[in-house]
Amino acid sequence: MKKTLEGKWALVTGSSRGIGRQIAIGLAELQCNVIVHGRELEHTHETLEIVQQKGVDALAVGAALDSEAGVAKLIAAVEGKEIDILYNNAAINCSSTPVFEFDQATWQKIFQVNVFAVTQLCNAFGPGMKSRNWGRIVNVSSGICDQPNLAPYSVSKAAIDKLTRDLAFEFKDTAVRVNAIDPGWIRTDLGGPDAWESVDTVLPGMLAPVLVADKGANGEYFQAQQFRFFE
């Protein structure tokens, strides 16, 4: 029997294209209602249309995550919705630079989108999951290593891994599960044209942390490419 998420609401950040779009589509195919997010509202229209064709409720929100105010705009836009699944997918990379030449502005920009926005969203929606005793928080990580020329990005993802484990412990006695997942090196705007995998290969694996049992994996690190035949 195919698992279903009927009646649940998921917020997928950065779902106007790329990996986020695939996640939104995969959730909709499991009958999950989806909030599509992009930096600009007009960028979300194509994903929104695809998701709606799956027969679920959906809405789109435009909000930049590069400031506290931008994240607050996203949170305010979904006020009144009980967010059951928070999929923190949105992230930005940096230009390849000798490791000692990154300025503080670059570090701050990367951490704002990749880490601080995630903590702000978890603060907004985590308590509701805990009070309802059900939820899934999925943080997109990365397998990047040994690339000091991309240090701000790789360090931000290391921070996400640690945040995931700390949040998981907070929810350990509940039916809220918090896990991280590495989608693999994917040919997207962020991954670049030389990446190993096409974007469609992230499914069905990116759904695995959402479909864990209520007392299942928590604070774990998934790899989407290991679930190519996941059902």
> What amino acid positions are annotated as catalytic residues?
153
Helix (H) or strand (E) run with residue 12 in it? strand 9-12
Contact 169, 192 (CB under 8 A): no
Q: How many Å apart are CA 189 and CA 107, to the nearest integer? A: 20
**Amino acid at site 221:** Y
Cα 203 to Cα 8: distance, rounded to the nearest angstrom: 19
Q: Three-class SS of residue 81? A: coil
> Which residue has tokens 């209602």?
33
Q: Give CA separation, 229 vs 28, 202, 221, in Å.
A: 19, 11, 18
